[in-house]
Copies of this chain bind each other. A is one copy, B any other.
Amino acid sequence: MLRTHTCGELRIENKDSEVVLCGWVQRVRDKGSMVWVDLRDRYGITQLMFEPNDNQALAETIRSVGREFVLKATGKVIERVSKNDKIGTGDIEILVTEVEILNPAKLPPFLIEDETDGGDELRMKYRYLDLRRNVVRQNLELRHRVAIEARNYLDKQRFIEVETPVLIKSTPEGARDFVVPSRMNPGEFYALPQSPQTFKQLLMVSGFDRYYQIVKCFRDEDLRADRQPEFTQIDCEMSFVTQEDILNTFEGLVRHLFKVVKQIDLPTLTRMTYADAMTYYGNDKPDIRFEMKFVELNELTQGKGFVVFDSAPLVVGINATGCASYTRKQIDELTEWVKRPQIGAKGLVYIKAEEDGTFKSSVDKFYTQQDLQAIGNKFNAKAGDLILILSGETNKVRKQLSELRLEMGTRLGLRDKDKFSAHWVVDFPLLEFNEEENRWFAMHHPFTSPKPEDIVHLDAGNLGEVRANAYDMVINGVEVGGGSIRIHDRVLQAKMFGILGFSDEEAKHQFGFLMDAFEYGAPPHGGLAFGFDRLCSLFGGSDSIRDFIAFPKNNSGRDVMIDAPSTIDQKQLKELSIAVSKS
């Protein structure tokens, strides 16, 4: 090694040792007779001290360095006069006798500090410099830690990591595939996997019993802040299990990760049905760090002459505890907030529970104090509370009120990112009807098993009634993982493909290998996948998965640092038997 120690490890016990350190110049302070340099590496910062008057060559060298120069410094560990208790090496400094510039550095385009002056685009272009910042590097260190702890936990539970192929077959169901032209098979294409779903099921058919993989997956979708064209899953599958076994196994994994990575004892995960999640939170991934449950008010609001409520399939509200003091202006602002196109509510009705025991509302002319009291009772409203009510078409109004609930949670400081509330949502519907395409889609994917007791509904054609053995793990309102018990029977699988609009031929062409496999002794099996990027960002207390990916792409799917994608040679295109088309 060019160094004897890292910049993070020297202590007062090392006093008088001769050491060699390598690292980057964080800052230089030149006081004339003394020059100090903070030398930084991944492990920390150590202060170097130079006495330029004693050594002309040393003086010249050190006075030529700037921020981010790479140095190799040789010297003796001495005790600092003014100690710095903020850093581990703060009791010592190095009296440098020899210094070598290993590489000079141009002035970085932004500050390499926790608080930087660089904008997003600039930091993406110079990602290798952004990664030097402690906060960014620590995110990736956390990611490494989560991965290695997840692997060791699963290994102890006898899961085997098996690598499944990246060059697979395109299937039109689901999201858009990235494809790869095959040179050796002209006119044919591989696809990059959206998940290793069929392969992990085949591994169960193979008797692997317990499989996992931390694996890159790919979706060619339009991007948002929390989506990347390539992302990573902790993908898992088990044989001879019921849903209960899977919930317990992976609850165990997540609690282990919280324990070892965050030193947090996560309580046992509660469970909530999909139906309840929608009824009480208007959301299949409710944030239950705070209550503020939905209360349905149709019965209490009906027939009092308020046409808006009378004509609404759903009248539903939440209790913003302690917000009765909101001014007219604040309530108007909230009303505008829910009326924004992103939310889309028509209006907002409020009821304030005043300190004197009376109620004040925006619909006073339709509802008596007694009516309002009855509504207040349903919310257990106390003096000082503010009830916020929306109405309209059931699914839409639930979505709107869910947004309002989250917003109020944020405004009231109820969504502390250092507090973690994890739970399962279970009993998802198997299918959902898409009005635009006028057909049923699998809510999870086509391999998800209906609950055995709901197969009667499937057979009777009551497709909306069929629940699946499907489950999501939700932490702080983020879906961190989800999965299901799978179909392991060829006939049922074929029926599912039929319901989803596949012809027999299409099903055979795309998934024939899986249905064939089911005929050679497929065990009952199920599993789940965690969104690894999202799990890491949650652990790190960030909303953005990009902060936890070393080299992320921007919203146009570009890596602006390496400038990819890019055009390729005509020769390359010709070898691949493809051409770029105009339209």
Which residues of chain A have a CB within 8 Å of any CB of chain B? 1-3, 6, 22-24, 40-43, 68-70, 72, 102-106, 108, 126-129, 131-132, 137, 140-141, 143-144, 147-148, 151-152, 155, 160-170, 172, 176-192, 198-199, 202-203, 205-209, 216, 218, 220, 222, 229-230, 232, 239-242, 245, 488-489, 513, 517-524, 549-551, 553, 556-559, 561-569, 572-583
Bound-state Cα–Cα, A574 to B294, Å: 46
Contacts of A6 on B, CB cut-off 8 Å? Answer: 209
Contacts of A103 in B (CB 8 A): 488-489, 518, 521-524
Asked if B182 and A179 make an inter-chain contact with CB atoms under 8 angstroms apart, the answer reads no
Most buried by B among A132, A189, A198, A199: A189
Given contacts A41-B207, A208-B131, contact A218 B522 (CB under 8 A): no
Q: Choose one: B131, B222, B549, B573; the contact of A206 (CB below 8 Å).
A: B131
Q: Verify B240–A105 contact, CB threshold 8 A.
A: no
A169 engages B562 (CB within 8 Å): yes
Q: Which residue of B lies closest to A108 (CB)?
A: B520
Q: Across the interface, which residues of B come within 8 angstroms of A181, CB to CB?
A: 179, 181, 578
**In whole angstroms, what is the CA distance A181 to B573 when docked?**
11
By the criterion CB–CB under 8 Å, are A165 and B205 in contact? no
A151-B151, A562-B513 known; A523 and B488 CB under 8 Å?
no
* Bound Cα distance from A577 to B222, whole angstroms: 16
Q: Which residues does chain B contribute within 8 Å of A573, judged by CB atoms?
A: 581
Distance in angstroms from A562 CB to nearest chain B CB is 5
* A3 CA to B238 CA, complexed, in Å: 13
> A240 touches which one: B2, B108, B163, B524 (CB < 8 A)?
B2
A144 and B162: CB pair below 8 A? yes
CA distance A568 to B172 in the complex (A): 9
Min CB distance A515 to B, Å, is 12
In angstroms, Cα B520 to Cα A188, docked, is: 44
Bound complex: CA A568 to CA B178 (Å): 11
* Bound-complex Cα distance A232 to B183 (A): 21
Asked if residues B68 and A520 are in contact (CB atoms below 8 Å), the reply is yes
Contact of A550 with B207 in the complex, beta carbons under 8 Å: no
- Find out whether the CB atom of B513 lies under 8 angstroms from the CB atom of A561: yes
Residue of B nearest to A198 (CB): B562
A132 neighbours in B (Cβ, 8 Å): 206-207
Residues of chain B within 8 A of A565, CB atoms compared: 167, 169, 180, 182, 185, 188-190
**Residue pair A578, B580 in contact (C-beta under 8 Å):** yes
A578 touches B581 (CB 8 A): yes
The answer for the CA separation of A557 and B189 in the assembled complex, in Å, is 11
Contact for A519 among B106, B168, B524, B578, CB less than 8 A: B106
Residue of B nearest to A183 (CB): B220
> Once the chains are docked, how many angstroms separate the CA of A41 from the CA of B523?
11
Q: Which residue of chain B lies nearest to A179 when distances are taken between CB atoms in the complex?
A: B568
Q: What are 25 A-B residue pairs whose CB atoms fall within 8 Å in the complex?
A: A1-B241, A102-B524, A103-B523, A131-B206, A132-B207, A143-B163, A166-B166, A167-B229, A167-B557, A168-B564, A170-B568, A172-B569, A172-B572, A181-B578, A183-B220, A184-B222, A185-B556, A185-B558, A186-B580, A202-B551, A203-B550, A574-B581, A574-B583, A577-B580, A578-B579
What is the bound-complex CA distance between A489 and B103, given in angstroms? 8
Question: In the complex, A239→B1 CA distance in Å?
Answer: 9
Min Cβ gap A190→B in Å is 5
CA distance A191 to B160 in the complex (A): 30
Contact A520:B106 (CB < 8 A) given known A41-B209, A152-B152, A240-B22: yes
Q: Which residues of B contact A203 (CB under 8 A)?
A: 128, 131, 550
Q: Which residues does chain B contribute within 8 Å of A518, judged by CB atoms?
A: 103
The 5 closest A-B pairs by CB, nearest first: A105-B521, A131-B206, A169-B564, A188-B565, A182-B565
With contacts A144-B161, A152-B148, A188-B567 taken as known, whether A104 is within 8 angstroms of B137 at the C-beta atoms is no
Return A486 CB to nearest CB of chain B, in Å.
12
The minimal Cβ–Cβ distance linking A151 to chain B, given in whole angstroms, is 6
Closest to A187 in B: B580
CA gap between A566 and B562 in the complex, in Å? 31
Closest to A141 in B: B160
Residues of B within 8 A of A165 (CB): 230, 550-551, 553, 559
Interfacial chain B residues near A187, Cβ < 8 Å: 567, 580
Task: From known contacts A22-B240, A180-B192, A207-B41, infer whether A521 and B574 are also in contact, taking CB-CB under 8 Å.
Answer: no
Contacts of A188 in B (CB 8 A): 565-567
In whole Å, how far is A24's beta carbon from the nearest beta carbon of chain B?
A: 6
Across-interface contacts of A186 in B (CB, < 8 A): 580
Which of A152, A183, A562 has the largest number of chain B CB atoms within 10 A?
A562
What residues of B have a CB within 8 angstroms of the CB of A489 in the complex? 103
Chain B contacts of A162 at CB under 8 A?
140, 143-144, 550
CB distance from A312 to the nearest CB of B (A): 40
Residue among B41, B519, B551, B557 making CB contact with A185, cutoff 8 Å: B557
- B524 engages A568 (CB within 8 Å): no
Query: Given A180-B565, A189-B567, A574-B581, 10 more contacts at CB 8 Å?
Result: A103-B522, A140-B160, A144-B160, A163-B550, A166-B230, A167-B553, A169-B563, A188-B567, A191-B568, A578-B580
